[in-house]
Structure 1
Amino acid sequence: MRIALFEPEIAGNVGAVLRLGACLGAAVDLIEPMGFAWDDRRVRRTAMDYIDHVTVVRHAGFEAFRATIGASRLVLFTTKSSESLYEFQFRSDDILLFGKESAGVPAAVAEVCDARIRAPMQPQVRSMNLATTTALALGEALRQTGTLPG
């Protein structure tokens, strides 16, 4: 299972997702441009030494990333969906795609995804933190597919 972040804007979120990937055994794809310099120390501060235990691939853009997915499904997490991540049936080779913090993904990206799902939350709030949503999603996907570590 892979995590893909579309044009992430906040270094601390990326660091937290890298640490999550290291802990749960998921590779992380970063789709550029990013809203910070890759050598930003805030990424390393959040990821700590866990960054050495996760496979990270940077892609020049969405099409470059898309060329690497093969037969895997691209599962987009979006507040614009009504299907809960807890009702969705994950597969072990899914790629969990998360949009940029301020705007999600453009419609053209959403249209090419195989599924669009959401994390359930209270109706009066807009969205959860990117790293928090990623943790919920990856945890549920790994639980369903029987691939949780340890």
Structure 2
Amino acid sequence: MLHIVLVAPEIPHNAGAAGRLALATGARLHLVKPLGFSLDDKHVRRTGLDYWKDVDLHVWEDFPSLLQSADSSSRFWFLSTKATRSHWEAGFEEGDYLVFGCESRGLPEPMIQAAGMQALRIPMAQESTRSLNLSTAIAITLYEAVRQTGGM
């Protein structure tokens, strides 16, 4: 199983798209607080997430709590436009965690620096392109990980 981690997501539709991707690939979705939206039934229904109840979802108070719960052999990959290594260079394995930051700021710089070779970026032809939509970035990276692990 692969893991999708959203740190402080702000936009419910991106989290919903990540949930749909998790369902489609058999991945687990982790949301790390603070969340920019509510997960109560009323709000989830309003955003059209009728499949949300089927998502393998875990919500964490903070990132260290998630780290502590993970198996000691788990690997975390940190996706950022500030990283220098391409996601194609990663050797993804079952059980890996794909970590994405919030829509407006991405992951904190110290987190990316501490990740070293585990920090990845999605290559873009135009350097002037600031970033991709969060749900698009998740899909690109997740399906590359699925391809490499022979999943589905």
Q: Same fold (TM over 0.5)?
A: yes
Match of 1:55 in 2: 56
Match of 2:102 in 1: 100
Q: In structure 1, what is the Cα distance between the partners aligned to 2:133 and 2:50?
A: 22
- Of 134, 140, 143, the residue aligned with 1:136 is 140
Match of 2:92 in 1: 90
Match of 2:21 in 1: 20
Give the C-alpha shift of residue 48 in structure 1.
2.7
**Per the alignment, in what secondary structure is the counterpart of residue 141 of structure 1?**
helix
Q: Do structure 1's residue 33 and structure 2's residue 48 form an aligned pair? A: no
Structure 1 residues 142 and 28 mapped into 2: Cα distance closer, same or farther (>3 Å)? same
Give unmatched runs, 5+ long, in structure 2: none
Task: Detail structure 1 runs of 4+ shifted over 6 Å in the superposition.
Answer: none
Q: In structure 2, what is the Cα distance between the partners aligned to 1:25 and 1:139?
A: 11
1:27-55 Cα distance to aligned partner (Å, 9 max, x none): 00000011122227564455633223221
Alignment check: 8 A CA contact 1:77 1:117 kept: yes
Report the AA paired with residue 134 of structure 1: I
- CA RMSD, Structure 1 to Structure 2 (Å): 1.8
**Per the alignment, in what secondary structure is the counterpart of residue 48 of structure 1?**
coil
Q: How many residues align?
A: 148
TM-score, normalised to structure 2's length? 0.88
Give the C-alpha shift of residue 75 in structure 1.
0.2
Match of 1:81 in 2: 83
Report the AA paired with residue 120 of structure 1: P
Report the AA paired with residue 82 of structure 1: T
Structure 1 residues 43 and 83 mapped into 2: Cα distance closer, same or farther (>3 Å)? farther
Query: Please, which moves more after superposition, 125-134 or 66-75?
Result: 66-75
Q: In structure 2, what is the Cα distance between the partners aligned to 1:45 and 1:111?
A: 38
Give unmatched runs, 5+ long, in structure 1: none
Give the C-alpha shift of residue 94 in structure 1.
0.7
Q: In structure 2, what is the Cα distance between the partners aligned to 1:2 and 1:106?
A: 20
